[in-house]
Structure 1
Amino acid sequence: MKQEFNITIYSENHIGLLNRITINFTRRKMNIESLTVSESAIKGISKFTIVVNETEDRVKKVVGQLEKVVEVLKAFYHTNDEMVYQELALYKVPTDELYDSDQIEKLVRKSGARILEITKEFTVIEKTGHKEETQELFESLNQFGVLQFIRSGRIAITRDPIERLSEFLKERDALLEAMD
């Protein structure tokens, strides 16, 4: 049965790596719902967070293939229940609508969003939350004519208190020292 999985990849930062990672999904005709890349807590190591809607068996297989990519140090997969995650959304609405009624202000307050910038022509609103929450605010604001809308990819960390990448790197370093 298909469900949403979060694939986390830790890697060195090399040119062309994103292509080598995404080709693994393309070959399996697996759609990426969300992809975010940033620095990790470990200096020099990047963290990819990829969201897919797939069966666990297919996710296990792609994670195994991802670990064969030379620059990939380790890849993991988790269900949403095993993660703490958020997305960021920005909405640009006409400022006139903000002044003509208090409805936009009420929506912003009710949703826990915040106003980032107000100009004569437009107002930018920011909302963090799960995709469903940011989409709901978009639909509510769209009655006032959303000029632009963008949602980031998912950012996520595990609920597991043990940093598994650190443990993996310690084990790898110990093996490398033993080989010398």
Structure 2
Amino acid sequence: MKKECYTISVYTENNIGLLNRISAIFLKRHINLDSMTASVSEIKDVFRFTIVVKITEEQVKKLVGQIEKQIEVIKAFYHTNEQTIYQETALFKIDSKLLFEERQIQNVIKDNNANIVTVTPEFFVLEKTGRRGEVEELYNALEPYGLMQFVRSGRIAVTKDQMHISKILESFVPETI
């Protein structure tokens, strides 16, 4: 079977140790995570993990089934890239003198639709939000100038179809939440 990129969304209660148990499911199967993010969801007291993996559809179905067996997991879904709208955010910390001495760096910032977040006498910070390829393109353009620091978030995603998560989860959420 062909490996494909899947975004797994896991809706959970916020309990200590759940992240370890979810990551252990991937570890047991020797599946590497491309990215993982955690945040509050659109439902009060329900949290969401967004996990990106490159595996077969058969593997992702089994993974989602195993994840849903965790007591604190309310529901898990998986989607292909074509079924989601997704972005990543990156921050680039660069020596400030380059902003004024290297005219080309201003063009790189403009051409990549990056935003200057802060400027100090020692450094400036750029922010870029977009698909992974867009972030990597900016990284490759800035890297020759020397990066002081670089960090990229994991994927954040919503489905393209009209999935009303709140309504879907109503039947799964206990009255105590």
TM-score, structure 1 as length reference: 0.93
The two structures, once aligned, show a CA RMSD in angstroms of: 1.4
Identical aligned pairs, as a percentage?
Answer: 47
Kindly tell me the number of residue pairs found equivalent between the two proteins: 174
1:169 maps to 2:169:
yes
Q: List 4+ stretches of structure 1 deviating above 4 A.
A: none
- Indicate the residue corresponding to 1:55 in structure 2: 56
Return the offset for 1:118: 0.8
Return the offset for 1:161: 0.9
Q: Distance in 2 between matches of 1:128 and 1:169?
A: 29
Return the offset for 1:167: 3.2
- Indicate the residue corresponding to 1:82 in structure 2: 83
User: Which runs of 5 or more residues in structure 1 are unaligned?
Assistant: none
Q: Give the 5 Å matches for 1:91-106.
A: 91-106=92-107
Q: Give the 5 Å matches for 1:31-70.
A: 31-70=32-71
1:120 maps to 2:121:
yes
Higher percent of residues as helix: 1
1:97 is paired with a residue whose SS is: helix
User: Which runs of 5 or more residues in structure 2 are unaligned?
Assistant: none
- The residue identity in structure 1 corresponding to 2:97 is D
Return the offset for 1:143: 1.4
1:162 is paired with a residue whose SS is: coil
Return the offset for 1:168: 3.0
Q: Give the 5 Å matches for 1:20-35.
A: 20-35=21-36
